[in-house]
Amino acid sequence: MTTNQNGKINTVAILGAGPAASTLATLLVRAGLKVAMLHRPRTAPLLVGESLVPAIVLMLRELGVEDEVKSFSKYKPGACFDLFGQSDFPFLFKDFCGSFPPYAYNTPRIQFEETLLNNARKAGAKVFDVNAGLDRVGNSDRVQLNAETLAVLDDYFSGQPDLIVDATGRARLLPQLLDIPAREGGRKDTALFAHVDQTKLYQDGYVHSTRLDHGWSWRIPLPGRVSVGVVIGSEFLPQFGSTKEERYDNILKKDSMLRQVAGEAKRLTPVMEYTNYQLTSSRMVGDGWALVGDTAGFIDPVFSSGLFIGMTSAFELAKAIKNASAQAFQDYQKEVTHHLTIWHEIVSYYYNGRLFTSFNVGEKLRGNPLMKLAFPHINKHMGRIFLGAASTSPYSIKLLRLLVKHGLRGEDPQAMAIR
Ligand SMILES: Cc1cc2nc3c(=O)[nH]c(=O)nc-3n(C[C@H](O)[C@H](O)[C@H](O)COP(=O)(O)OP(=O)(O)OC[C@H]3O[C@@H](n4cnc5c(N)ncnc54)[C@H](O)[C@@H]3O)c2cc1C
């Protein structure tokens, strides 16, 4: 890391202005650092990342934006999962929230992002509209802002900043330049998503996840509309049409589960497409640089954990930057890698059917005297997954592993696997 004579980092350029970037910028300027955000304004009409988990509410409070987010979002008291029919597995956050807030929000994502960015601006981060570019320094592990980007910064740092943080999301500007390898997840799905006028929802405000003939879908109730996404093996898509709009509209009408709840839905927006969204960068820190948010890694959206992981990584990185030691940055990388690895594991239990088979077995055994005692305990710890807090509790994860391995009582998890 580049530090001054006192071993401190004083100036930071953050590439990108998504939620991870804005969170980090706010925390750093509050700590007295000079921060520039290099912002390439969005052109997409809508963005994914609309369903928050309760663990994020704590961060919104710390950033001082919860009231504003609440003013344009929909209150989210829980989540439910339909594997066979209507709301087979509902989870009400207040049943197991412990010290976490018993709610979260479903939020129009572009407004959410603007709120965080304005908050960073108000705190004192300087925002430059620029498509940021980097150069590699020789063959080394170092990067620097390129000449065009420095020109836009107009000598804001009097040269290069002490630290460059890449928060460019899935663009992964810096890892692409340094050729940093990443571990990809096994699934090769495509997500198609749009906003529609209405769908059937079994629980008010809940995010509904439904298993489809192929893949699964989300329904996120937003003020005045519903976000509907379908996540499907890419090989199944051609049978639904040739354009993404045809494919999306046909899946809503033809899938045996989705047509019952969204077959009559009228699409209000274009269809957005995402592919390849399970990835962990093999390195997240280097000589004068660090990665944060999706640039460091991202996982499948099924448990709405993306923003939680991204914003948590911003809080962790802010601590490392304030500390400025090489060890603090290594610890940051270890922590984020661990977080992503745990979530990849949890998500895999959703896809292979083990998670909900074990929940189902638990439900069936509810009358059993031993289970009557154990059930509240298990419920509390499994509920942490839906709060977004699973990865912070080694005990909850151990219990989860035990249940998905030994708690199926001979039931075939394939019956609940995502096809
Ligand atoms: C299908 C799908 C559904 C999802 N659903 C959810 C959900 O319901 N809940 C949830 O919590 N998460 C969800 N996620 C994950 C979530 O969207 C991401 O984790 C989150 O957006 C990451 O935030 P970020 O700030 O790291 O990156 P981003 O939000 O991607 O921000 C990156 C920013 O960098 C900018 N940028 C890129 N290149 C440059 C450049 N050269 N110069 C300047 N700026 C640049 C981009 O324009 C963008 O503004 C979903 C993801 C997918 C794929």
Per-residue pLDDT reduced to its tens digit, 264-298: 999 999 999 998 778 999 999 999 999 999 999 99
Domain finish residue from 287, 315, 345: 345
Please report, for residues 69, 107, 208, 226, 325, the alpha-carbon distance to residue 72 in angstroms, rounded to integers and kept in the order given. 6, 7, 20, 14, 40
Please report, for residues 109, 218, 222, 227, the alpha-carbon distance to residue 44 in angstroms, rounded to integers and kept in the order given. 11, 20, 18, 15
Please report, for residues 59, 132, 225, the alpha-carbon distance to residue 94 in angstroms, rounded to integers and kept in the order given. 18, 43, 25
Q: Using DSSP, state whether 39 is helix, strand or coil.
A: strand
Instruction: With a cut of 60, say whether residue 1 has pLDDT above it.
Output: no
Let me know whether 30 and 166 are in one domain: yes
Task: Return the residue whose CA atom lies nearest to atom 17 of ligand 1.
Answer: 49
**By percentage, how much of the chain surpasses pLDDT 70?**
98
Q: Which of 190, 307, 343, 344 to mutate to test the pocket of ligand 1 (most atoms within 8 A of CB)?
A: 307
Kindly state the average pLDDT of the residues 164-173: 97
Atom of ligand 1 nearest to the CA of 47: 17
Distance from the alpha carbon of residue 294 to the mean position of ligand 1, in angstroms: 6
Alpha-carbon distance of 35 to 39, in angstroms, equals 13
The tokens for 372 are 């009557």
Atom of ligand 1 nearest to the CA of 309: 19
Let me know whether 269 and 402 are in one domain: no
Tell me the CATH number at 197: 3.30.9.100
Instruction: With a cut of 90, say whether residue 239 has pLDDT above it.
Output: yes
Q: Considering the domain boundaries, does residue 245 fall inside one?
A: yes
Domain finish residue from 300, 318, 345: 345
Question: pLDDT category, 391, cuts 50, 70, 90?
Answer: confident
Let me know whether 212 and 231 are in one domain: yes
Average pLDDT of the chain, as a whole number: 94
DSSP 215: S
Question: pLDDT value at position 6?
Answer: 59
Alpha-carbon distance of 66 to 78, in angstroms, equals 18
Distance from the alpha carbon of residue 183 to the mean position of ligand 1, in angstroms: 18
Q: Considering the domain boundaries, does residue 2 fall inside one?
A: no
Q: Considering the domain boundaries, does residue 403 fall inside one?
A: yes
Q: Considering the domain boundaries, does residue 71 fall inside one?
A: no
Minimum mean pLDDT range among 23-32, 168-177, 368-377: 368-377
Distance from the alpha carbon of residue 20 to the mean position of ligand 1, in angstroms: 8
Q: Considering the domain boundaries, does residue 91 fall inside one?
A: no
Q: Considering the domain boundaries, does residue 57 fall inside one?
A: no
Let me know whether 33 and 172 are in one domain: yes
Let me know whether 388 and 258 are in one domain: no
Atom of ligand 1 nearest to the CA of 220: 8
Q: Number of helices and strands (H, E) in the chain?
A: 13, 20
Instruction: With a cut of 60, say whether residue 257 has pLDDT above it.
Output: yes
For residues 54, 56, 58 and 61, what is the CA-based torsion angle, rounded to 10 degrees? -120
Atom of ligand 1 nearest to the CA of 56: 11
**By percentage, how much of the chain surpasses pLDDT 90?**
83
Let me know whether 368 and 298 are in one domain: no
Question: pLDDT value at position 372?
Answer: 83
Let me know whether 198 and 146 are in one domain: no
Ligand 1 neighbours by CB, cut-off 6 Å: 15-21, 38-40, 42, 48-51, 131-132, 167-171, 173, 191, 229, 274, 277, 293-294, 298, 301, 304, 306-308, 310
Q: Considering the domain boundaries, does residue 104 fall inside one?
A: no
Number of compact structural domains in the chain: 3
Structural domain span for residue 194: 189-275
Q: Using DSSP, state whether 273 is helix, strand or coil.
A: strand
Question: pLDDT value at position 67?
Answer: 98
Let me know whether 267 and 200 are in one domain: yes
Of 364 and 392, the structure prediction assigns the larger pLDDT to 364
Let me know whether 172 and 219 are in one domain: no
Indicate the helix (H) or strand (E) that contains 364.
helix 354-364
Distance from the alpha carbon of residue 365 to the mean position of ligand 1, in angstroms: 41
Let me know whether 23 and 121 are in one domain: yes
Question: pLDDT value at position 33?
Answer: 98
Q: How many CA atoms lie within 13 A of 65 on its CB side?
A: 26
Let me know whether 247 and 199 are in one domain: yes
Let me know whether 266 and 392 are in one domain: no
Query: Among residues 97, 63, 156, 114, which one has the least CA distance to residue 389?
Result: 97
Q: Considering the domain boundaries, does residue 230 fall inside one?
A: yes
Task: Return the residue whose CA atom lies nearest to atom 31 of ligand 1.
Answer: 18
Domain finish residue from 345, 362, 393: 345
